[in-house]
């Protein structure tokens, strides 16, 4: 619509055409008001029954809530109107009539449960609070891309249909690929590593990953969006620096550019971009600190993964984002490098939000023989990964990298209870459509 004016831009004195959804109609007898909503806000449209064309008034006061209308008229100052201006229409067109039986109420007056909201995301995302989450998610991705460009990283896209898994064999979704078994990719891990050995050197990807997770939880999805980073000629410490920079850039951008959205979510007062260096605790220190909280029934010992309650106890103790470094090799994947002087200790790390893990990463094994040995130790057949290992014979530089889950980043940033709030159309054990 070429001549459309957004409601937020309609100024007294304009003769304007606004278009959007009927938020509500209030019929007060001699006068009636239609509140029209678009992506920028709302505007009041006034119908004076005795003074206006009957057909125009009839259309305006009988239109169903959430119908799409286009209204043209004079914009005037009106103190009593919710936004201080109102439109006196000379025409109204109903562009799409809405059924009077709505599956959920976008005005938010009647609450709907999450499942109903997800079944009707179109209507749900008409609510300013829901829309705010996705505006912020988009700002996070914009800021992250900008940050990556500022550190000389090139955006890449890698295949999502693959021949082998990388993050543990049990979580793969099989698909049939021209009669052959293939899988939906769990991570761009091997591809991004292959690209640090190319002339690109430093790469990132924002894309979907697929995992047939065992459990339906408030923090797991079966299709998630990952932000992957990988760079040649850096070690795990430098990779953590970039990781920390990315997180701070995302928070700062939201703080700077999304105040309205934060306000809608009730977060404007408390939202703060993290400052200061994130603590880097070794795994050993982490388990000692968890044990010292006395929150767990059983003490953790070397080699244990950190249980959810342990992460929570440590998160409460630390009180902000922090890294856990120097993990036992046996609980990190084959592509993570071990310390040369201690093969039990790896250069893997996690970035934690006090509520949960956000990132995994590490220094990678770039030496061919050690890499192939790592496959064998994890019970994987190196022959299946020949397309990957082969490239390590032709000059693979030392490299490191990491990956964020976008939904967990948004979930923790906005203190959402359920990860599904941060994805438009979640895929979980019960949900394959919409
Ligand atoms: P990892 O498996 O730890 O590491 O995944 C990285 C981050 O992705 C997010 N994530 C998920 N989010 C929602 N639902 C899921 N099912 C899910 N699985 C993972 C988490 C997690 O911290 N290749 C490595 C990364 C690397 O070393 O570069 C990897 O995939 O936030």
> Looking at ligand 1, which residue's alpha carbon is closest to its atom 12?
405
The dihedrals phi and psi of 413, each to the nearest 5 degrees, come to -60, -40
> Which neighbouring-strand residues pair with 183?
162, 174
329 and 239 fall within a common domain: yes
> Looking at ligand 1, which residue's alpha carbon is closest to its atom 1?
360
Q: Is 27 in contact with 14 (CB distance < 8 Å)?
A: no
Give residue 412 CA to ligand 1 midpoint distance, Å.
15
Give the domain CATH number at 44. Answer: 2.40.50.140
260 and 381 fall within a common domain: yes
Once rounded to an integer, what is the mean pLDDT over residues 81-93?
Answer: 95
Nearest to 426 by CA among 198, 217, 159: 217
Q: Which residues belong to the annotated binding site?
A: 167, 211-213, 219-221, 357, 360, 364, 405-408
- For the chain, the domain total comes to 2
- Strand positions, DSSP E, 156-269: 161-162, 173-177, 180-184, 202-210, 223-232
27 and 143 fall within a common domain: no
| Reported confidence tier of residue 169, pLDDT bands at 50, 70, 90 | low
Once rounded to an integer, what is the mean pLDDT over residues 205-218?
Answer: 93
Instruction: Please give the pLDDT value at position 378.
Output: 86
Torsion from C-alpha of 141, 145, 147, 149, nearest 10 degrees: 180
Ligand 1 atom index nearest CA of 171: 16
Across the chain, mean pLDDT equals: 96
Alpha helix segments (H runs only) across 267-401: 283-293, 308-318, 368-377, 386-389
Residue 298 within a domain: no
Give residue 330 CA to ligand 1 midpoint distance, Å.
18
Give per-residue pLDDT as tens, 342-392: 999 999 999 999 999 999 999 999 999 999 999 888 888 889 899 999 999
Give yes or no for residue 358 CB within 6 A of ligand 1. Answer: yes
Residue 51 predicted with pLDDT over 60: yes
Residue 413 within a domain: yes
Ligand 1 atom index nearest CA of 186: 30
Instruction: Please give the pLDDT value at position 379.
Output: 86
pTM of the model: 0.96
Expressed as residue numbers, the domain containing 27 is: 7-96
Return the active site residues: 211, 213, 219-220, 357, 360, 408
Residue 258 within a domain: yes
Q: Which residues lie below 8 Å from residue 421, measured CB to CB, with a gap of 6+?
A: 114, 133, 411, 414
Give residue 207 CA to ligand 1 midpoint distance, Å.
12
395 and 262 fall within a common domain: yes
Ligand 1: which of 158, 171, 187, 231 to mutate, most ligand atoms within 8 Å of CB? 187
Q: Is 177 in contact with 216 (CB distance < 8 Å)?
A: no
Residue given tokens 């600190």 in the structure block: 289
């Amino acid at each position: 619509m070429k001549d459309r004016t957004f409601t937020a831009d309609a100024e007294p004195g304009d003769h304007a055409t606004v278009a959007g959804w009927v938020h509500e109609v209030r019929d007060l007898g001699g006068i009636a008001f239609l509140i029209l909503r678009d992506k920028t806000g709302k505007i009041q449209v006034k119908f004076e029954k005795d003074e206006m064309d009957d057909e125009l008034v009839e259309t305006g006061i009988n239109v169903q809530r959430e119908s799409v209308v286009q209204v043209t008229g004079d914009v005037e100052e009106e103190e009593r109107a919710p936004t201080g201006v109102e439109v006196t229409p000379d025409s109204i067109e109903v562009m799409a009539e809405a059924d009077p039986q709505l599956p959920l109420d976008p005005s938010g007056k009647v609450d709907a449960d999450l499942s109903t909201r997800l079944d009707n995301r179109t209507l749900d995302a008409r609510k300013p609070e829901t829309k705010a989450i996705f505006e912020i998610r988009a700002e996070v991705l914009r800021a992250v891309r900008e940050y990556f460009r500022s550190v000389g990283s090139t955006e890449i896209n890698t295949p999502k249909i693959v021949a082998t898994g990388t993050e543990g064999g049990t979580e793969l979704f099989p698909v049939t690929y021209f009669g052959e078994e293939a899988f939906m990719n769990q991570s761009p891990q091997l591809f991004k590593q292959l690209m640090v050995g190319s002339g690109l050197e430093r790469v990132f990807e924002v894309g979907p990953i697929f995992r047939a997770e065992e459990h339906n939880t408030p923090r797991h999805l079966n299709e998630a969006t990952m932000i992957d980073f990988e760079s040649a000629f850096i070690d795990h410490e430098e990779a953590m620096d970039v990781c920390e920079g990315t997180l701070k850039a995302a928070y700062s951008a939201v703080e700077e550019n999304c105040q309205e959205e934060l306000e809608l979510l009730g977060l404007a007062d408390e939202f703060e971009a993290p400052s200061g260096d994130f603590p880097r605790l070794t795994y050993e220190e982490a388990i000692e600190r968890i044990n010292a909280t006395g929150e767990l029934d059983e003490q953790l010992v070397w080699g244990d993964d950190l249980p959810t309650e342990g992460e929570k106890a440590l998160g409460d103790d630390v009180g902000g984002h922090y890294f856990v470094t120097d993990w036992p090799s046996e609980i990190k994947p084959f592509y993570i490098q071990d310390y040369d002087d201690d093969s039990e200790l790896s250069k893997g790390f996690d970035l934690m939000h006090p509520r949960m893990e956000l990132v995994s990463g590490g220094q990678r094994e770039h030496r061919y023989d050690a890499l192939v040995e790592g496959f064998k130790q994890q019970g994987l057949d190196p022959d299946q990964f020949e397309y990957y290992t082969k490239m390590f014979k032709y000059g693979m530089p030392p490299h490191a990298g990491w990956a964020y889950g976008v939904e967990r980043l948004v979930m923790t940033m906005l203190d959402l209870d359920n990860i599904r709030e941060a994805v438009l159309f979640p895929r979980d054990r019960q949900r394959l459509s919409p």
